[in-house]
Amino acid sequence: MMLDSHIACKTDDGRELILQNVDYNLSIDNLMATCTIIQNYRNPYDTNIEAVYTFPLDSDAVLLEIEIEINGRRLKGKITEKSAAEEKYEEAVEQGDRAIMVEKSSEGIYTVNIANILPKENISVRLSFTQLLEWRGEQVRFALPTVIAQKYGNPAALNLDDLTDPETSLFAENRFNFNLQIKGVLKESQISVPSHHITIQKEDLSTNVTIDPDTNFMNRDIVFIFQTEKAPQRRSFGLIGRDFRGYAAIASFYPTFEDNFETKPKSVTFVIDCSGSMYGISIDRAKIALSKALDLLKERDSFNIVAFGSSSISLFDGDVLATQEHIDIAKAMIKTLDADMGGTEMANALNRVYRRHATNPSENSYLFLITDGEIYDHERVIQNARKSHLSHFVVGI
């Protein structure tokens, strides 16, 4: 069972506008991705409405422009200080004028307010963003979110209220159209999309990708993996150029390290999410990842496993050496895990690890977290992680 919050436009009293269709037009030129998303809605009601629209972007994406088209008239957004923008928007609402306001609710979550939409009117929401991709060995990975997954906790932690917090639906079947044009270093790469079925068409100057209609549901991220035989030669560089206000700059650093260093024994605490949101394939993948991670330990390393949901449990009373006996005990425990431990109280589980580490600190201690990350209060988790002085590694499911 998969629970996903579908992207939707709601009125100020909670009713939904009808989503007609969604278009994704994406271009990747070398390592720069630029995307335009067009969502078309209709006001099916017999009264004027104010609509609220919440949508996701990758946390590394930069929103370039948002535009609303109503009956051929286009309204384009302009960056303004938040309190001034809210005041101007409320004045427009009271006077019956057209107005839009875009707010960044939290990292990767944006909310659009659209005032005074007339009965039976059609609305086109067009937003553009750009994102700089990066190499991981011989691969480049790019994920385009289409939904905001159901989260655990209080929406106020992400500055969301009853209107801007997306609702979860098992029955939403929103579809989309998708076109991708690839130029530059990734044009000749091997392209795989584990999330969807695709069609690839190669031309002289570009490679074009479309998503097949049988998998074009807006219920998961669109994930692209570009694989090359050999990554381009790495080098540090800097670029600078004028923009409309002054200058924009980008810098990339490629440090080199000696590979003859001695590996010291390490202490690893594996923390696995067994909350209800991990039901089904998510918990299965998490258990596979944890088992494979155990196989990478050496006998002089030490480890422990913490499973959490509403509460947390620890496999051992403390860290144990990664002997074959202990590895076998751990793998037997992993087989019994399921997504049946309730809510996602991630902060409490991690704080348990931090307290134990504080009583027996080690410079070679690491925390390995496996989770879907679907919580509202992630800022508190990040702040606590920084204070812990532990090195964190996260596997996102």
pLDDT at site 295:
94
- 310 and 163 fall within a common domain: no
Give the chain's domain count: 2
Cα angle 317, 287, 276; round to 5: 90
pLDDT at site 213:
84
Domain assignment present for 255: no
Provide the domain limits for residue 362: 267-396
- 271 and 209 fall within a common domain: no
| 331 vs 297: CA distance, rounded Å | 13
- 209 and 353 fall within a common domain: no
Residue type, 260: N
Specify the residue for token string 């309730």.
342
Domain assignment present for 122: yes
Examine the fold and report which residue of 227, 251, 276 is the final residue of a domain before the chain moves on: 227
- 195 and 292 fall within a common domain: no
pLDDT at site 173:
67
Cα angle 11, 25, 1; round to 5: 60
- 40 and 188 fall within a common domain: yes
Which CATH number fits the domain that encloses residue 279? 3.40.50.410
Per-residue pLDDT tens listing for the chain (397 residues) = 333 444 556 666 666 666 778 899 999 998 899 999 998 888 888 888 887 877 788 888 988 888 888 888 888 887 888 888 889 888 888 888 878 888 887 777 888 888 888 888 888 889 899 999 988 878 899 998 887 666 655 555 555 555 455 555 555 667 889 999 999 889 989 999 988 899 999 999 999 999 988 877 777 789 999 998 766 666 677 778 887 778 888 777 777 777 666 778 899 999 999 999 899 888 999 999 999 999 999 999 999 999 999 999 999 988 999 999 999 999 999 999 999 998 888 888 999 999 988 887 777 899 999 998 777 777 788 888 888 888 999 888 8
- Please give the distance of CA 368 from its chain centroid, rounded to a whole number: 19
- 90 and 159 fall within a common domain: yes
| 209 vs 18: CA distance, rounded Å | 28
pLDDT at site 145:
84
- 37 and 163 fall within a common domain: yes
pLDDT at site 231:
64
CB atoms within 10 A of CB 240: 9
Examine the fold and report which residue of 206, 227, 248 is the final residue of a domain before the chain moves on: 227
φ and ψ at residue 133, rounded to 5 degrees? -90, 170
φ and ψ at residue 59, rounded to 5 degrees? -65, -20
Which CATH number fits the domain that encloses residue 204? 2.60.40.1730
Examine the fold and report which residue of 174, 201, 227 is the final residue of a domain before the chain moves on: 227
Residue type, 18: I
pLDDT at site 324:
96
- 276 and 375 fall within a common domain: yes
pLDDT at site 4:
40
Say which DSSP state 233 is in: P
- 207 and 307 fall within a common domain: no
Q: In sequence order, what are the beta bridge partners of 9?
A: 53
Tell which residue, 275, 272, 300, has the closest CA to residue 288: 272
